[in-house]
Amino acid sequence: MPYLWRFGMVLLVVCLLASMVIAAVRLSTTPEEIMGARFHGLPHAFIEEHMQEYGPRR
């Protein structure tokens, strides 16, 4: 039984590390102009089309 518990813990840690690596890769490959307030860098027409979804300008 202790071996099964250890295997479970190792599997849990491996999955956690894999999740962190995936998140880091996805964040590092996301264009920075869409990350931030009001999605700077998107075309003005796109912002105007979707203004109802995101609310008025502040």
Instruction: Please answer whether residues 9 and 17 qualify as being in contact, where contact means their C-beta atoms are separated by less than 8 angstroms.
Output: no
pLDDT tens digit string along 1-53? 799 999 999 999 999 999 999 999 988 877 655 555 555 666 778 777 777 77
DSSP state of 30: S
User: CB neighbours of 42 closer than 8 A, spacing ≥ 6?
Assistant: 33, 34
* pTM as predicted: 0.52
Q: What's the confidence (pLDDT) of residue 14?
A: 98
Q: What is the pLDDT of residue 20?
A: 97
Check residue 7 and give its pLDDT. Answer: 95
Closest CA to 55 of 31, 35, 38, 33: 38
Q: What is the pLDDT at residue 48?
A: 77
All structural domains of the chain with their residue ranges: 2-54
Question: Residue 46, SS3?
Answer: helix
